[in-house]
Amino acid sequence: MAEMVNITIDGKSIQAEKGKNLMQVAKENGIFIPSLCYYEHIEPPLGTCRVCTCKMNGKYNPACTEKVSEGLVVEVNTSELTDTRKALVEMMFAEGNHICPACEKSGNCDLQHMGYELGVSSTRFQHLFKDRLIDFNPQRMVMEHNRCIKCLRCVVEVKTSDGKKVFNYQERGNETFVGIDYEQEAKLTKEQALNAMHICPTGAIIVRGESLAAPFGDRKFDMESVQKDYNKKKTTHKNRPPVMGKKIVATVSLAGCFGCHMSLLDIDEDLLDVVELISFDKSPLTDFKEFTSRCHIGIIEGGVCNSENVETLRKFREHCDILVSLGECSVWGGLPSMRNSIPLSECLEEAYLNSATSEPGANIIPYHEDLPKILDRVYACNEIVKIDYYIPGCPPDANHIWKAVKNILWGEEYSILYSEFKYD
Amino acid sequence: MPAETVQQLVESGQTQMLNQLWELQLKNGFINDDDIKKIAEQFNLSTIEVEGVVSFYHFFHRKPTGKYTIYLNNSIIADIKGFKRIKETFERETGAVFGSVDRTGTFGLFLTPCIGLSDQEPSALINFYPFTNLNAIRVKDIINALNNGATPESICDAPADNIRYTPPGEKSIFFKKFEDGKALTHAEKLGADGVIEALKKTELAGRGGAYFPTWKKWKAAKEQTTTPKFVVCNADEGEPGTFKDRVLISTQATSMIEGMMICGYTIGAEYGIIYLRGEYRWLKPKLDEAIDDYRKKGLLGKDCGNIKGFHFDIRVQMGAGSYVCGEETALLESLEGKRGEPRTKWFFPVEKGYLQLPTVINNVETFCAAARILEMGAEQYMQMGIPGSPGTKLISVSGDCKFPGIYEIEWGMTVAELLELCEADDPYYIQVSGPSGECISIKEKYRRISMLDLLARKDIRCGGSFMIFNKQRDLVKVLLNFSEFFKSESCGICTPCRAGNFIIQRKLERLDNGLANEKDLEELKSWGTIMKNTSRCGLGKTATNSLIFSMEKFTDYFRGKLDKEYNGLNLKFDMEEATEDYEKYKI
Ligand SMILES: Cc1cc2nc3c(=O)[nH]c(=O)nc-3n(C[C@H](O)[C@H](O)[C@H](O)COP(=O)(O)O)c2cc1C
Ligand code: SF4
Ligand code: SF4
Ligand code: SF4
Ligand code: FES
């Protein structure tokens, strides 16, 4: 019989086998410690993502590399630690380009799941836009470097039948990426390749011709939080002093697809109430081209891709008390910002000269004084002006938008259920 | 285990891969695809693994680097000593641009962080030979000479040792004449436990900067039952501004070697490896010679120093340009011929170190000090320094002062005294222990340098360097230089350091451009703290030290850097710059 030790996790006394992995011990005792790279069968543990950072006897350390010992005191859920974990997950989102609605792994993705569990709605960090291309060269799979969080699982776990590695880190620092050995990859059996896709916590490794798709509701992380007390812990947006008098709102779509505006209208018959209570100033809904009065809220859809967007956004900042970024494109650039790692000239040439739909013999890239000027890259709104609130989603859920608006205007308290806190 | 087998073990398999890559790099100026394939086959690896190793190290290249490969140091000290001008001169004289090779394939120009010559900056390595105290004329002459057929070896400098100060009255511990073999004989007399006792009494603690008590490490290794065991000397000295180990190897290699032997004798190891940073390749012949000399004298090899049954040998392993490889577990990975990624704390090196066998890793200065303690006896050693912090400490001094170089100070000296000794020029702030250390203001000059009172932040425990800056130097520029260093030297394996250093650098750029507001400062502090608390190894944990300290100590300066008209309307987005590319399409 193994030697037992006494430890406490968030004040709860627990007996555990000496030297056992703390992650395992917590799990067996129904305590949730957020993690990403940790994979039960890999020993020594990888310890790369740092999301499981807790305080051990007062010191910060990852839970997944901690062997339990007598008297160990673990703190998991302090507000500081929760925020720290959230920051780490936000870093991963800032490092890559994660367009969940277009991702094969959406709903089955550990990273996305961790984002939901930790309540990540937008990242506090500016997007880093590393130039990362998708690698289509491997025979069996496609490697989407943008989604890789460098957890090391594939590097350590995936080997050919003769024991050779298929994946390995390349370069270092913020240039680090996971390279694939094409020769070895071709030798993988179908099962081995599928295993690579499954152990990958994100949608970085996709096996050709294999679908992960499942209807919403049947996916791995759809309906319930793994935290039993999620709904108790969920963020409540507090009462705030209501705005007095008539409530005036302005909206605009910059470099967006109008999807967010569509969603805005998606509250069905409630819309009638809303129109009673709120008046819209400058907005595509009213077709007012200029501001006619000062507004309480300005709702911005889309990022900033040309000179006109910049001017419009600045006008909004000038005329509105509170600016809200609505939807992914507005929050960090979103889909249009996929051009950010490609030089502008290449984008324009592809669009106007070389694409399949351009006129034969086309040789002009439009330029006229009256046309807005295209910016070198797509900017997030908060790079141009100060933004007060963010509503994520592609598009954000209609109820969520109105809850936020009502909170600002009438000070109504609200919170979002796990099942609503979904942006894919 | 018989000595031959240990030797076979340490020289087998992937452990030799770095050496082979070095050979190819030096022979061809780069490592080509065919060679990568061959090496992969030889070590039974997939090519992606070999490519991963090659791309990790700064000095290994996949493209030709020219007949003369020039690495110019871009550390902050080089910067204040005229780096920019030297850089321009190199470009003009060679016709190459930094980061590439000229059209004729003759000169390759590359930047590299501190090469351990901060006392004689600006300096560069050409085909890994040192060229120091550069100025524009000298650079011209060098390029001319090379163009006329001179070899770098024949025209390079012999860097000065610049030992500026030792305790008066011939009380130097590190630099007095070392009698070969004496310390080892004393060690044998004391026995393993006696050696550990002596180290404990003298409170010797790791001089690599972490100050872990040396006796505890040796004792833990001694108690391991697994054999063979290893002794590793950390001569990676990558911390910018630090060059004490360089001078020790240059002048006191034998005391270091004997320190390693004493460790071997104490813990029961038969083999030692010195991990010498790639930048110090020019020191390797001298070091090899010292080792050979010890072999000839019967001090290394079988029955070392006539101690029956004590077999010990040493080899030198060259690093290949990576700061993080100074971190002890990354160093072990590198010794095994892998990427220098720090291990997790799942096992300690004394349990499972090199090749998963018990290993003691100590800094050069630690081994030298251990040998000296045994040579002179604990009692005499303890006459120096102050109670609780006995002995002396080597400090590399550089920056704005008249006498940059090595200062062997007694523990207990104040910052002010040291500044006076080196004739610092209007010092304003001082970076202690390198970028990962602590930044202090001149107001703190009465702090003592010692191993005491650390928690109260009363005394200051120096890892080995003082970089002195006067008031003309812009603090944000210094911090930007540091953040670029950490960003590119991070191994990339853990999130907070890989992404965090990049994020911090972007924020500092905002501050430098006058675009930051109060909130940015708060975020810098908070994000820096998150990196500190969550990073996997010391690199990420300490990368934001200077930033956080300086924000606490120079609040007025930082406030002065803020955007004063901040109203949230314009985050100083530059329309002209952003539309510059598009304007090219104006008809
Ligand atoms: C990023 C990093 C770089 C380091 N570089 C060095 C180094 O160049 N030389 C050194 O002796 N120790 C270095 N260290 C400290 C070593 O990890 C280790 O503590 C030391 O080699 C132990 O020897 P000591 O106890 O004698 O100091 C570094 C640590 C970190 C985290
Ligand atoms: S599902 Fe996961 S991998 Fe895919 S885009 Fe979203 S977060 Fe990234
Ligand atoms: S590809 Fe997937 S498994 Fe591999 S390191 Fe990236 S995220 Fe991890
Ligand atoms: S802290 Fe930086 S250097 Fe250390 S393991 Fe993490 S990424 Fe690598
Ligand atoms: S789960 Fe512990 S570090 Fe990733």
| Count of C-beta atoms within a 10 Å radius of residue B309 | 7
The CATH number fitting domain B165-381, selected from 3.40.50.11540, 3.40.50.720, 3.40.50.1110, 3.20.20.10:
3.40.50.11540
Please give the pLDDT value at position A233.
61
- Band (pLDDT 50/70/90 cuts) for residue A353 is confident
- State the amino acid at position A204 in one-letter form: A
Write down the CATH number for the domain with range B68-160.
3.40.30.10
CA-derived radius of gyration, chain A: 24
Contact criterion met (CB below 8 Å) for B134 and B124? yes
The yes-or-no verdict on residue A213 having pLDDT over 80 is no
B581 — contact with chain A (CB < 8 Å)? yes
Which ligand has an atom closest to residue A38 CA?
Answer: 5
Say if residue A102 is in the same domain as residue A198. yes
**What gap in Å lies between CA A263 and CA A393, rounded to an integer?**
10
pLDDT tens track of chain B, all 587 residues? 555 677 777 777 788 999 999 999 999 999 999 999 999 999 999 999 999 999 999 999 999 999 999 999 999 999 999 999 999 999 999 999 999 999 999 999 999 999 999 999 999 999 999 999 999 999 999 999 999 999 999 999 999 999 999 999 889 999 999 999 999 999 999 999 999 999 999 999 999 999 999 999 999 999 999 999 999 999 999 999 999 999 999 999 999 999 999 999 999 999 999 999 999 999 999 999 999 999 999 999 999 999 999 999 999 999 999 999 999 999 999 999 999 999 999 999 999 999 999 999 999 999 999 999 999 999 999 999 999 899 999 999 999 999 999 999 999 999 999 999 999 999 999 999 999 999 999 999 999 999 886 666 788 988 899 999 999 999 999 999 999 999 999 999 999 999 999 999 999 998 998 888 899 999 999 999 999 999 999 999 999 999 999 999 999 999 999 988 777 776 778 888 999 999 998 87
Using the beta-carbon criterion (under 8 Å), do B52 and A149 form an inter-chain contact? no
Task: Name the DSSP class of B342.
Answer: P
- Band (pLDDT 50/70/90 cuts) for residue A418 is confident
Three-point CA angle B304, B310, B314, nearest 5°: 65
- Band (pLDDT 50/70/90 cuts) for residue A239 is low
Tell me the domain boundaries of chain B.
Answer: 68-160, 165-381, 392-470, 480-560
Lowest mean pLDDT among A327-331, A368-372, A412-416: A412-416
DSSP B264-319: HHHHT--EEEEEE-GGGGGGHHHHHHHHHHHHHTTSSBSSGGG-TT--BEEEEEE-
Report the number of distinct structural domains present in chain A. Answer: 3
Please give the pLDDT value at position A308.
95
> Which residue range is the domain that position A164 belongs to?
97-207
Say if residue A268 is in the same domain as residue A337. yes
Please give the pLDDT value at position A269.
78
**What gap in Å lies between CA A136 and CA A141, rounded to an integer?**
7
What is the second-level CATH architecture of the domain B392-470? Answer: Roll (3.10)
In short, whether A50's Cβ falls inside 6 Å of ligand 5 is yes
Say if residue A416 is in the same domain as residue A272. yes
CA atoms within 13 A on the CB side of B215: 14
Residue A253 has phi, psi (to 5 degrees) of: -115, 115
Say if residue A298 is in the same domain as residue A371. yes
Please give the pLDDT value at position B367.
98
Please give the pLDDT value at position A407.
86
The yes-or-no verdict on residue A234 having pLDDT over 60 is no
Say if residue A156 is in the same domain as residue A242. no
Say if residue A240 is in the same domain as residue A105. no
B351 — contact with chain A (CB < 8 Å)? no
Please give the pLDDT value at position A377.
94
The yes-or-no verdict on residue A422 having pLDDT over 90 is no
Q: HEC profile for B81-98?
A: CCHHHHHHHHHHHHCCCC
pLDDT single digits (tens) A270-301:
778 878 888 888 888 888 888 999 999 999 99
Contact criterion met (CB below 8 Å) for B36 and B50? yes
- State the amino acid at position B524 in one-letter form: L
The class (CATH top level) of B480-560 is mainly alpha
Say if residue A12 is in the same domain as residue A71. yes
**What gap in Å lies between CA B162 and CA B52, rounded to an integer?**
39
pTM beyond 0.90: yes
Task: Give the residue on A whose Cα is nearest the Cα of B581.
Answer: A376
CA-derived radius of gyration, chain B: 24
Please give the pLDDT value at position A256.
94
Q: Which of the pair, A129 or A167, is modelled with greater confidence?
A: A167
| Residues of chain B neighbouring A374 (CB-CB closer than 8 A) | 579, 582
Q: Which two tokens stand for residue B238?
A: 């990558």
Say if residue A109 is in the same domain as residue A54. no
| Count of C-beta atoms within a 10 Å radius of residue B554 | 17
- Span between the terminal Cα atoms of chain A, in Å: 48
**What gap in Å lies between CA B562 and CA B559, rounded to an integer?**
5
CATH code, domain with A134 = 3.30.70.20
Q: Which two tokens stand for residue B383?
A: 């006459």
For A333-361, what is the mean pLDDT? 86
Say if residue A190 is in the same domain as residue A298. no
| Residues of chain B neighbouring A23 (CB-CB closer than 8 A) | none
Please give the pLDDT value at position A238.
65
Say if residue A342 is in the same domain as residue A247. yes
Please give the pLDDT value at position B4.
64
| Residues of chain A neighbouring B581 (CB-CB closer than 8 A) | 343-345, 376
Q: Which of the pair, A421 or B466, is modelled with greater confidence?
A: B466
Using the beta-carbon criterion (under 8 Å), do A179 and B51 form an inter-chain contact? yes
pLDDT single digits (tens) A136-156:
999 999 999 999 999 999 999
In short, whether A148's Cβ falls inside 6 Å of ligand 3 is yes
